Structure formats: C-alpha cells, structure tokens
A = this chain, B = another copy of it.
Amino acid sequence: MPFLLLIEDDDAIRTGLELGLSRQGHRVVAAATGEDGLKLLKEQRPDLIVLDVMLPGIDGFEVCRRIRRTDQLPIILLTARSDDIDVVVGLESGADDYVIKPVQPRVLDARIRAVLRRGERDSTDSAAFGSIVIDRSAMTVTKDGQDLQLTPTELRLLLELSRRPGQALSRQQLLRLVWEHDYLGDSRLVDACVQRLRAKIEDVPSSPTLIRTVRGVGYRLDTPQ
C-alpha cells in the first residue's frame, strides 16, 4: 500500500484528498504547512509526497528543493489553474510530476501510481552489501553467489532496509514499511525477524556487520568495507 505525505494548506482540499486517496488504497498523512510537512517527512518516511505550490511560509518549490537536498523520493506538485507558474521552475526544483487543481482523487491516484512505477523501474534492480547481492526483479538474494532462501517477510525487510542504506530505521518505521501496521506494542516482532534475517545473511550472526543495531532506535543496513 503506497504511503503518502500530503502537504496542502487549504483545509477543504486537504481533507477531501486525504479521504479520496485513502479510498483509492493509499495510506495518507497530511500537513498544512511546509514546516510541518518536512517534520512529518523525517518522522514517517513516506513513499511519495503530494505538495501544494502555494503554501503560507516556505512555498512548495522551496520545500521541494529542500527535500531534494537530502532525498530522492518522488514528489508531485499540486498547482491551481489560476497560478501563472512556469512548469520549468517546478520541474527544475526537482518535482517528478505536476497536477493541476481541482483534481479527482482517482486521477491523482493514477499519477501517483505512474510516478511510483517509474521510480521502481529507474531504481537499480540490484544492490550489493558485502557478499550479499539483492536482485529486486528476480526477488532473490545471494551470498557469495549462493542462493539464499529468505521467507517473504525476511525479504521485504531486507528490501526496505536496502532501499535506505546507512540510514537508521526505527522499529516503528520498519513495522509500517514491512508489516503495514501501525502499532507495535512491546512485542519482539521486528527483532525476531531481524534475528532470522541475520542468521541467513551475516557471516557471524552474533556479531553482525550488515544489519547493525542502533540502540534506542532500531536497525541500519551498512555496506562493510
């Protein structure tokens, strides 16, 4: 399920899109200002951002640029038809697509899926971490050339970690990305899965070099040198 961050100051439009996009099968969090949006971005790590151009405070273009300084995640700009804006400025600030308001949720949904699809295709199909090679299209993982038998959950976990190498992900974030739920009580769910994954991909599972524990936070996938 795609996980979206919607940044839009107009209450009516924001609520409408939030509802509409949820019905189209997305999980949506929303912010009314650029500042709030950037904050939510860091906390929640969405898959894609839908970003209004005309915002109080820092505007959409600026938000876009700031995101692009550190992040490659896809951005769709929302612009009012009456805005006499230069599409080039928008695209140069790093947006992936443009949608003109008013927009039907299902239209926006189609654009979102298109952009996500493009992203999937553009992202390299394989990644390497030490002796581990992940082939995203074959959905296989090999260690020193040998095929590893990962279970679906282990694979999803590794894929999500590998999409953000070197970045610490909290248990909460992993839960959302891999299990698509929101609430982790104090179960050892994530830890247990990490343990099983380590058992398969680490040379010495008890002192892992790939999936590192970040105490007080969660886990991080490193490329050992």
Contact residues of A with B, CB < 8 Å?
81, 84-88, 91, 97-98, 104, 107, 110, 113-114, 117-118, 137-140, 151-153, 155-156, 166-168, 214-217, 220
Q: Given known contacts A214-B139, A217-B152, is B85 in contact with A98 (CB within 8 Å)? A: no
Tell me the nearest residue of chain B to A170, going by C-beta: B139
Q: Majority SS of interface residues in chain A? A: mixed
Residues of B within 8 A of A88 (CB): 113-114, 117
Give Cα A215–Cα B167 distance, bound, in whole angstroms: 28
Residues of B within 8 A of A118 (CB): 87
Give Cα A107–Cα B80 distance, bound, in whole angstroms: 13
**Could you list 23 examples of A-B contacts with CB < 8 Å?**
A81-B97, A84-B110, A86-B113, A86-B114, A87-B113, A87-B114, A87-B117, A88-B113, A88-B117, A91-B117, A137-B166, A138-B220, A139-B168, A139-B220, A140-B168, A151-B215, A151-B216, A152-B215, A152-B216, A152-B217, A153-B216, A155-B216, A156-B216
Residues of B within 8 A of A140 (CB): 168
A216 to chain B, nearest CB (A): 3
Q: Given known contacts A151-B215, A216-B155, is B84 in contact with A138 (CB within 8 Å)? A: no
